[in-house]
Structure 1
Amino acid sequence: MLKMVNHQFKVLQSVVASIIEGGRGVSGTPFPQQPTKPLKLYEFEGSPFCRRVREVVTLLNLDVEIYPCPKGGQKYRQIVKSKGGKRQFPFLIDENTGDQLYESQDIIHHLFKHYGKTGQTPKKYSHYPKLPYVSTLASVANAARGVWINKKIIDRAAPEQLLELWSFEASPYTRLVREALCELEIPYVLHNVPKERWQDMGPAILRLKPGKYIPLPNGKREKVVEIMGRDIQVPFLIDPNTGVKMFESAKIVDYLKKQYG
């Protein structure tokens, strides 16, 4: 009982963080321009600068490989240092263009240029303040989870195959799973499934549009329904290392800690 109450309190904190962000990371294009080779993003969940990039990745509805680099982490921070010359995050590797980029604003311009509809960065995403006041406040409201490594797993090897997580940035339940993946330094493929139109708004059991949920024809969500075998619900985790397929944030977090903690 206490465990569930604690989980729900974390969900509430996560909801507050999403509200502070003003709705960024909820909606996205239904017809994304997915790169041929996967984008690789080295970041950590609690970083306000990394949050900016993830919001744009959600808006563009891109799937990316996430390599968690929490403070104190031993696996991927060294890779960033060896490839880019410094331990700074976020760090994006785009093998499609040959670019390796630090600085959240530079990464955002790159994403819109190569994977946006017009090739131009919208004004809303062009001029972030140098100090991320809003995103920092959101991280504080979320108790700064997803910042530090879980010290119990520092010497544990990463899973052989990347886990797969279906998510969108502002989902409060999914954020708890991403925080756990970050703190455990577990790399994964982030499949974004943002809201593509107003009919998608609301949780799976209480959407704004009443009746049976029907995703946009030929949109990305329609394909995801086939994968899940049901109405879309996030978070949804697949672990190819164990064959596990799971919904529900509390169950997923518990599984990750038992399997990899």
Structure 2
Amino acid sequence: MTSAFDHFTSTAASFVRGQSGARVGALGPRPLEPFLLWEFEACPFCRKVREALSILDLDALVFPCPRGGTRFRDEARARGGKTQFPFLVDPNADDRALYESDAIIAYLFARYGHGRAPRRLTLGPLTLATSALASGLRLPRGRAARPSRAPDAPLELFAHEASPDARLVREVLCELELPHLSRSCAEGSPTRDALRTHHGDVALPFLHDPSAGVSIHGARDVIAHLERTYALPA
């Protein structure tokens, strides 16, 4: 399901972004509920927001909206008024809704961090250019929808944005339009320690699929499960 080329290009994508999202930064108040995020993996603007979530150790219920997708794109438009991604809703702040990656990042760091986002997220054209290059290294993966069946309940993915293996899994989740709770597990995250306590020293990414009643770790096995369980013939 994955090749040496996949791992090389995914690792390169993390490299060009300076491993942004690999480590938890300075944290502020903790939200009680996960954010709601409509996005798609190959979008460079969405990548910036995912990096911010990893740095701030924030969880999000992700609704993948790849091109040609039919499961969540209309829902995003109905809720926010336009089909534009990323689109984030904060249920901890009276369902505040935000578009535009820079506005989302500024909001997250102001409310849940220590005020200012790190420079690698605020360098304007340079940040966008490196994020777009990271997307280009993995095209066409994580961009367009494939036929799939919906799970009975959202999946749960423990990972972080800078992980090359996690990227390979997120691409499949996106293409198959599988909703999932993204549990941030960057270095320094308490969630990583809790995962180790409950499941042992598992390799990230770690997926729990409540619909299938299984927990799986490692990109190759997770992707095999997703393809076997949810992908449909084209």
- TM-score (norm: length of structure 2): 0.91
Establish whether residue 188 from structure 1 lines up as the match of residue 180 from structure 2.
yes
Inter-CA distance 95–46: structure 2 relative to 1 (3 Å threshold): same
Establish whether residue 171 from structure 1 lines up as the match of residue 167 from structure 2.
no
Paired residues, what number?
A: 230
CA distance in 2, matches of 1:81, 1:38: 20
Residue of structure 1 in register with 2:108 after alignment = 111
Letter in 1 for 2:102: Q
Aligned-partner SS, 2:196: helix
**Cα distance, 1:95 vs. partner?**
1.3
Residue of structure 2 in register with 1:60 after alignment = 56
Deviation string, structure 1 residues 126-147 (Cα, Å, up to 9, x no partner): 3422982111111111123101
Equivalent residues in 2 for 1:28-67, closer than 5 Å? 28-29=24-25, 33-67=29-63
**Cα distance, 1:260 vs. partner?**
0.5
Deviation string, structure 1 residues 31-71 (Cα, Å, up to 9, x no partner): 67431122001000010000000001000011111110001
**Cα distance, 1:123 vs. partner?**
4.5
Give the superposed CA RMSD: 1.9
CA distance in 2, matches of 1:12, 1:123: 26
Establish whether residue 225 from structure 1 lines up as the match of residue 196 from structure 2.
yes
**Cα distance, 1:72 vs. partner?**
0.5
Aligned-partner SS, 2:125: coil
Residue of structure 2 in register with 1:22 after alignment = 18
Deviation string, structure 1 residues 63-122 (Cα, Å, up to 9, x no partner): 111110001000111011111111000000111112101100010011111111x23334
Aligned-partner SS, 2:161: coil
Aligned-partner SS, 1:54: helix
Letter in 1 for 2:109: F
**Cα distance, 1:195 vs. partner?**
1.2
CA distance in 2, matches of 1:32, 1:11: 34
Inter-CA distance 52–19: structure 2 relative to 1 (3 Å threshold): same
Q: Quick check: 2:10–2:164 contact (8 Å CA) kept in 1? A: yes
Residue of structure 1 in register with 2:97 after alignment = 100
Residue of structure 2 in register with 1:128 after alignment = 124
Establish whether residue 243 from structure 1 lines up as the match of residue 213 from structure 2.
yes
Aligned-partner SS, 1:148: coil
Residue of structure 1 in register with 2:153 after alignment = 161
Inter-CA distance 18–125: structure 2 relative to 1 (3 Å threshold): closer
**Cα distance, 1:224 vs. partner?**
2.0
Q: Which of 1 and 2 has greater Rg?
A: 1
Instruction: Extract unaligned runs of 5+ from structure 1.
Output: 197-215
- TM-score (norm: length of structure 1): 0.82
Inter-CA distance 123–173: structure 2 relative to 1 (3 Å threshold): closer
Aligned-partner SS, 1:175: helix
